[in-house]
Structure 1
Amino acid sequence: MAVDYTTHDGIAVITLNNPPVNGLGLSTRMGIVEGIDRAQHDPAVKAIVLTGAGKAFSGGADITEFNTPKAFQEPTLATVIKAVEGSAKPVVAAIHSVAMGGGLELALGAHYRVAAPGAQIALPEVKLGILPGAGGTQRLPRALGLEAALNMIVSGTPVMSEKLAGTPMFDQMVEGNLLEDALAFARKVGAQSGPHPKIRDRNIGHPNAAGFIQFARNSVAGVAKQYPAPHKCIDAIEAGVLKGFDHGVKVERECFLALVQTPESKALRHAFFGERAASKIPDVPSDTPARNIDKVGVIGAGTMGGGIAMNFVNAGLPVTLLEMKQDALERGLATIRKNYEATVKKGKLTMEALEQRMSLITPTLTYEALGDADLIIEAVYEELGVKEQVFTRLDEVAKPGAILASNTSTLDLNKIAAFTKRPQDVVGMHFFSPANVMKLLEVVRGKDTAKDVLATVMQVAKKIRKTAVVSGVCDGFIGNRMVEQYVRQALFMLEEGALPAQVDKAIEKFGFAMGPFRMSDLAGNDIGWAIRKRRYQEEPHMRYSKIADRLCEAGRFGQKTGGGWYDYKAGDRNAYPSKPIDEMIVAHSKELGIERRKISDDEIVERLVFALVNEGAKILEEGIASKASDIDMVYLTGYGFPLWRGGPMLYADSVGLYNVERAIRRYAAQPNGDAWQIAAGIVERAAQGRGFNS
């Protein structure tokens, strides 16, 4: 049983004991009810304390039981709360560390609540596309007041317990020993005659509840267009405000069941589990010993290197930052400081913290200074000859057992590892720009990369708050290999009849943060040009539209040159359609003898997204990614794929692979159709009626 039951001088203590966060799985739920019943039948027990062992009161639902029959088996959480609330003897919830989701709903069902400072209090279900399903939308407004509770429920944002001190939420804040103070409080209320207070019986006092709820609806409509859950949260709260607790609970349940079936909730839950699954590598056991990482070296103080260094100092790890020239080093340090100063201006960092972080960076012009680093990451120019110079030198100066990482975005990691005598210590750590902001970290596993190196890097990723996804070695790894096919299709559509603004608007309406042409202008069109030049030599069979080469030959590399696919104005990052470029595109079609046609937005979206899906299927077949959810995590956290669609592979599942296959075969029969070689994995799964995430 995941619950401990003890007695202390007439007080029963029910302790949730289901590590790591005392999730409310079936055995925990059963244990609570059994503990409540046991206390009712013991005449020596005057009151009950409900608390959590270890690092949490309770983090809510047990995620290991999601999508299993146990999640819905009695006693459900609603039944547990009914038993707690209906106890003839007072129940005191002793809250510490974490009370989230079902854990908070459970605490709200108790008659009294005492709390330690520093506890995170939240109903975060909205972030999974659902709402609290065990009375949370009804009890929290009665505990906190309508406005504070609605804001918490609709945002899902945690609030620290001390900020709720003095509200009806907590009967007492505890500075000392939580259990001792909770026992003392329980003895006091146990000596009082009942009935004991229930949050459900409280009124929601608000001078203009209907007006505030309408204001909340208007606010949510502006920020949550693609997400139905915040709207349903308001529906449930409103029902309880206008028609009472029991009606509110009924509406809450109806809303919960409706939301669970929505594609948005399925996508958000997929992302939630996908992020956790990404840290699990099939052949690297979870108990693989990791290497100690106490000091980090970063080679290159440019935009990428500086951003990488910031990740580590933010986590309290000292960084030695290497550059070849003093002016480049000073420029890099100045940029890092400027980034921190911007955060200070926003009130998210103190000047003291800024100076503390800057003090963790040791600038250097010599490789020898990296000799005591446990992890060294190079962020130098993306050219194999340059990487060879760096890794040859690192092999000479790095201590035995140091992890040598490359930030390469496309190059062969096995070739890079071969520049050293220790290929087992070499791994790819592909950060995304800006590295101090973007969540994604592609961890590239070479053929000789040691398992403990992988285990260590995955741990380090958590420490610096990155979502790490493991990729095998191929050109472009997961993300850039797929995006190359996406961009190829975008360029072919320019030849066939579309213009950059139409393509971008169509895919942005679908939900992408940025279309392919705005993205290319931001990253620099010369980057793609360099890759295509390499492709022309290495893979002459792979055909590209030459229109992008013409753009680069004209010196239009994007925002940094004031013009790319779009025109840009000084100090203005907005993209303005460029008449000369649109004319160049039309002229290019004419030179190729292509009669331009009207391309629908639906076709644009299908060709771009299914290009990602098709290449993703090949990546799975080749074992470059171990599971489809890893591919989705790459695109959700690194490439602006809309979160409410769950990533390209889940989106393909929602469309149906039968329909994906038909669409790809249709486009393969059109001009430029030779760019489509349908993945066997799509054909096989479509025939079997399966999806990528089945």
Structure 2
Amino acid sequence: MKPKVHTAVHTAVRTERDGDVLVIIIDNPPINAGSLEVRRGLLQAIDMLQTTPGLQAGVLIGSGNTFMAGSDLREFGKPLGPPELPTVIAAIEACSRPVVAALHGAALGGGFELALGCDARVAMLGTVVGLPEVGLGIIPGAGGTQRVPRRVGVARAIQMICSGERIPSGKALELRLIDAAVDTDVRGAAIAHARSLAGRKCRIRDEEVPEDNPAAIESAVQSALRAGKHRPAVVAAVEAIRASLQLPIDDALADERVVFQQLRQSAEAFALRHQFFAEREAMKLTQAVMTAPRPVQSVAIIGAGTMGSGIAISALDAGLDVILLEQDEAALRRGRERIGEHYGSRVASGKLKVSAAQDNESRLTPSTDWAHLRRADLVIEAVFEDMAVKQSVFAKIDAHARPGAVMATNTSYLDVDAIARITSRPQDVLGLHFFSPAHVMKLLEVVRGAETAADVVATGMELAKRLHKQPVVTGNAFGFIGNRIYNAYRKQCEFMLEDGAWPEQVDAALQAFGMAMGPFAVADLSGLDIAWRMRQAQAATRNPNERYVAILDHLCEQGRLGRKTGTGYYTYPDGKRSAATDETVRGIIEQASVDRGIERRLLNNAEIQRRALLAMVNEAARLLAEGVAGRATDIDVVMVQGYGFPRWEGGPVFWARQQGLAALQAAMDELAHANGGDFVRGDLAVLMA
């Protein structure tokens, strides 16, 4: 006999009766987010469970592919309507009939807090659980900071919550965050578990916090604060978790909610939510390229250097077959060794099983034979950043790759169309700008050339998702989105050297703003010769009226190429960067000021930060107006994911919007004056939409 179906008033939650068990189904696709309608429906369903004769227990489950992958973040910037999630959880705990959560897919954030409020949790193998709220500038606000430590201890709770760790079902079972794991029919298993609990309540809130070594707790605190850069949400999370040892649970829950409400309305939380939604928007295909991707299982990578090896590791980790092609056996051997060392270190650290590493390496075919390209669905060129070299390689790819294969260049700033024109099939060519190290960095710029087919762009986007990268589509222009903006930022920082600042002042000011590293430390790390070659490539087309700072050129001419040569902007005694620049660098900078006719002056942190940010914002406006960036928010994703812009500031476009157009225009007047007559001003209004 089919179960009797009761449809709740709120369509985001429905109920089905399985004998004496009420199955409560969250039905709010695509991720069953805990919206107001879901909360209202859950509260009504719990009331039904409590008051309906013949019911002994309830099961809470999500429809579709997941339990509940978090709360509805769109609500977080405005007042939350009743009932709020703690009210729903309190109703579950107060209900005289036990409720079992049946977890599958993901139970994250408010979804996991909801599950922790139930009397037991049964999970499908492969489910992940976690509390990622700190990454959004808030703390768990529905009991996560109190119920988790009652199961795992304070030190482990700090580690888990402050990092936003996602815990797979096996580990969650070991930690007692779930009570059972099954490989099939999680609904049936949860119903059986619920019947076994009939007449009993098993609330986590009634459990004692396990004893922890004070030294272990302090170590966890310091690690969390250091990794989280002492951001407000990390500090607040640590304090809330520690309160589980110090306060009655109702007092601690009330305090947790107050802090949650304060943080969710903070500027930092707004910025982090902006970035969260921007990243998801960037992954969507626009209408112009809304088509099915070409199938890809075999990838050929040309060039086994650091970049090529990193791309190969990413592809192998994604389950793809990889052909690694080099021009000679020695270079191929070095690339093969890099990949082997990577997997060896992963196994040694316990981050990868031996069998998984062996499986990945078994799908790698190292070769010097170009005939292997015919087997590839996608060919990625990852050779030296030189137009003539890349064009030569693409002529060979064109001769050997099968018809219909996608051909990609991993270039940082070269003209994708000029590379595509070398081939007989420019429609099959696109840019895939990976960031180094390619198997670590998440950003992937997908560059659409003038003739790139829509399904080739779609293939690039699908590949990025398969590699667990953050894709952003960009038009074909010098430097694409990221390097074009970074180039404007770096140039402004060089102007400030001529105006009176030292490299260490600029670096310190921008790190104080939140940049991962200052521009001159970054230049030394990547190698000054990279930017030098780029400048030489641009020399013939450079505007003669442009303010050009030759400091970097003079450093390179003296063999100061950065960390790899032991000297650049900084010196590197014993491999560690000096705190300040030396007399040679200061002499070059002072002479540049003299040559420009500038009387050096003191620049404070505020001016350094403002000018650097305004330079980014102005270039962002130009990129958007030119159509190189399709969405203003894409610019923020690129700069946060690839260039160390602080996530908690949202990105340069978000920062600009917080200033207001009138104030921004006035500040840009000052920047134009500082730059000189060749300053090309963008239309800032395009960023405000």
Would you call these one fold, judging by a TM-score over 0.5? yes
- The gaps in structure 2 that reach 5 residues or longer are 1-10
Structure 1 vs Structure 2 CA RMSD: 2.7
Question: Which residue of the partner structure matches residue 537 of structure 2?
Answer: 534
Structure 1 contact 278–470 (Cα < 8 Å) conserved: yes
Equivalent positions of 1:172-191 (< 5 A) are: 172-174=180-182, 177-190=185-198
The one of 662, 678, 683 equivalent to 1:658 is 662
Deviation of 1:349 (Å)? 3.1
Equivalent positions of 1:298-317 (< 5 A) are: 298-317=301-320
Q: Mark the CA change 1:169 to 1:515 in structure 2 (over 3 Å): closer, same or farther.
A: closer
Deviation of 1:611 (Å)? 0.9
Q: Deviations over 1:599-651 (max 9, x none)?
A: 22222222222111110111111111122221111111111112222222212
Deviation of 1:367 (Å)? 2.3
The one of 430, 438, 462 equivalent to 2:433 is 430
Question: Which residue of the partner structure matches residue 589 of structure 2?
Answer: 585
Deviates more, 1:156-165 or 1:226-235: 156-165
The one of 144, 153, 159 equivalent to 1:151 is 159
Structure 1 contact 144–169 (Cα < 8 Å) conserved: yes
User: Partners of 1:482 and 1:166 in 2: how far apart?
Assistant: 47
- The aligned length equals 678
Identity over aligned pairs, percent: 44
Question: Which residue of the partner structure matches residue 94 of structure 1?
Answer: 102
Question: Which residue of the partner structure matches residue 6 of structure 2?
Answer: none
User: Partners of 2:346 and 2:688 in 1: how far apart?
Assistant: 39
Deviation of 1:202 (Å)? 3.8
Q: SS of the residue aligned with 2:430?
A: strand
Question: Which residue of the partner structure matches residue 688 of structure 1?
Answer: none
Deviation of 1:283 (Å)? 1.8
TM-score (norm 1): 0.91
Question: Which residue of the partner structure matches residue 341 of structure 1?
Answer: 344
Question: Which residue of the partner structure matches residue 258 of structure 1?
Answer: 262
Question: Which residue of the partner structure matches residue 31 of structure 1?
Answer: 41
Question: Which residue of the partner structure matches residue 366 of structure 1?
Answer: 369
The one of 602, 613, 622 equivalent to 2:606 is 602
Question: Which residue of the partner structure matches residue 12 of structure 2?
Answer: 2
**Letter of the 2:316 counterpart:** V
User: Partners of 2:256 and 2:286 in 1: how far apart?
Assistant: 40
Deviation of 1:340 (Å)? 3.1
Q: SS of the residue aligned with 1:674?
A: coil
Deviation of 1:258 (Å)? 1.1
Q: Deviations over 1:115-146 (max 9, x none)?
A: 44443221211111111222322333344444
Structure 2 contact 509–605 (Cα < 8 Å) conserved: yes
Structure 1 contact 526–552 (Cα < 8 Å) conserved: yes
Structure 1 contact 227–264 (Cα < 8 Å) conserved: no
Deviation of 1:387 (Å)? 2.4
Q: Mark the CA change 1:104 to 1:411 in structure 2 (over 3 Å): closer, same or farther.
A: same
1:544 has 2:558 as partner: no
Deviation of 1:431 (Å)? 0.7
**Letter of the 2:204 counterpart:** I
The one of 119, 124, 129 equivalent to 2:127 is 119
Question: Which residue of the partner structure matches residue 133 of structure 1?
Answer: 141
Q: SS of the residue aligned with 1:567?
A: coil
1:631 has 2:638 as partner: no
Q: SS of the residue aligned with 1:448?
A: coil
Deviates more, 1:639-648 or 1:217-226: 217-226
**Letter of the 2:360 counterpart:** R
Q: Deviations over 1:189-208 (max 9, x none)?
A: 22x3x6x3433344446489
User: Partners of 1:498 and 1:329 in 2: how far apart?
Assistant: 45
Equivalent positions of 1:670-681 (< 5 A) are: 670=674, 672-680=675-683
TM-score (norm 2): 0.91
Q: SS of the residue aligned with 2:285?
A: coil
Deviation of 1:216 (Å)? 6.0
Q: SS of the residue aligned with 1:368?
A: helix
Q: SS of the residue aligned with 1:637?
A: helix
1:621 has 2:629 as partner: no
User: Partners of 2:645 and 2:187 in 1: how far apart?
Assistant: 46
Question: Which residue of the partner structure matches residue 644 of structure 1?
Answer: 648
User: Partners of 2:557 and 2:658 in 1: how far apart?
Assistant: 41
Deviates more, 1:90-99 or 1:200-209: 200-209
Q: Mark the CA change 1:116 to 1:395 in structure 2 (over 3 Å): closer, same or farther.
A: closer
Q: SS of the residue aligned with 1:630?
A: helix
User: Partners of 1:173 and 1:340 in 2: how far apart?
Assistant: 30
Deviation of 1:468 (Å)? 0.8
Q: Mark the CA change 1:226 to 1:282 in structure 2 (over 3 Å): closer, same or farther.
A: farther
Question: Which residue of the partner structure matches residue 3 of structure 2?
Answer: none
Structure 1 contact 239–247 (Cα < 8 Å) conserved: no
Structure 2 contact 408–430 (Cα < 8 Å) conserved: yes
Question: Which residue of the partner structure matches residue 7 of structure 2?
Answer: none
User: Partners of 1:514 and 1:148 in 2: how far apart?
Assistant: 30
**Letter of the 2:203 counterpart:** K
Structure 1 contact 6–12 (Cα < 8 Å) conserved: yes
User: Partners of 1:479 and 1:152 in 2: how far apart?
Assistant: 32
Q: SS of the residue aligned with 2:681?
A: coil
Question: Which residue of the partner structure matches residue 452 of structure 1?
Answer: 455
Q: Mark the CA change 1:251 to 1:317 in structure 2 (over 3 Å): closer, same or farther.
A: same
Q: SS of the residue aligned with 1:371?
A: helix
User: Partners of 2:42 and 2:566 in 1: how far apart?
Assistant: 65
Deviation of 1:230 (Å)? 2.0
- The gaps in structure 1 that reach 5 residues or longer are 686-691
Deviation of 1:312 (Å)? 0.4
Question: Which residue of the partner structure matches residue 488 of structure 2?
Answer: 485
**Letter of the 2:39 counterpart:** R
Structure 2 contact 119–203 (Cα < 8 Å) conserved: yes
1:199 has 2:204 as partner: yes
Q: Deviations over 1:6-61 (max 9, x none)?
A: 22222221222334432223443333333333334432322211122343222121
1:273 has 2:283 as partner: no
Q: Mark the CA change 1:516 to 1:207 in structure 2 (over 3 Å): closer, same or farther.
A: closer
Q: Deviations over 1:201-255 (max 9, x none)?
A: 444464899x987776555444434411122223434555434233223212211
The one of 28, 37, 50 equivalent to 1:18 is 28
User: Partners of 2:688 and 2:350 in 1: how far apart?
Assistant: 42
Deviates more, 1:159-168 or 1:446-455: 159-168
**Letter of the 2:294 counterpart:** R
Equivalent positions of 1:208-607 (< 5 A) are: 220-239=224-243, 241-284=245-288, 288-541=291-544, 542-569=546-573, 571-572=575-576, 577-607=581-611
Deviates more, 1:485-494 or 1:35-44: 35-44
**Letter of the 2:40 counterpart:** M
Q: SS of the residue aligned with 2:375?
A: coil
